């Protein structure tokens, strides 16, 4: 499920920070991978970028 609000984004970033030391192959590592992708997609689509 995509991140659609700033509140969801903040919660996802908070959770990601808790998972940064997840051991490879664990459920936590899988969650970390998914959160990373969801956060990146939100940032790409929602956050302002600097003009070129």
Closest CA to 31 of 11, 46, 12: 12
Q: Is residue 39 part of a domain?
A: yes
Q: Is residue 27 part of a domain?
A: yes
pLDDT value at residue 1: 86
Q: Is residue 51 part of a domain?
A: no
Helices (H) and strands (E) in the chain, counts: 2, 0
Q: Is residue 1 part of a domain?
A: no
Q: Is residue 12 part of a domain?
A: yes
Q: Is residue 14 part of a domain?
A: yes
- Domain residue limits at 42: 6-46
**Burial classification of residue 3, based on how many CB atoms lie within 10 Å of its CB (0-12 exposed, 13-18 middle, 19 or more buried):** buried
The rounded distance, in Å, linking the Cα atoms of 15 and 32 is 8
Q: How many domains does the chain have?
A: 1
pLDDT value at residue 39: 97
- Tokens 């509140």 correspond to 7
Q: Is residue 38 part of a domain?
A: yes
Summarised one tens digit per residue, pLDDT across range 1-52 is 899 999 999 999 999 999 999 999 999 999 999 999 999 999 998 877 666 6
């Amino acid at each position: 499920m995509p991140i659609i609000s700033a509140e969801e984004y903040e919660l996802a970033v908070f959770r990601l920070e808790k998972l940064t030391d997840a051991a490879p192959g664990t459920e936590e590592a899988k969650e970390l991978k998914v959160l990373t992708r969801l956060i990146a997609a939100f940032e790409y689509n929602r956050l302002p970028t600097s003009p070129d």
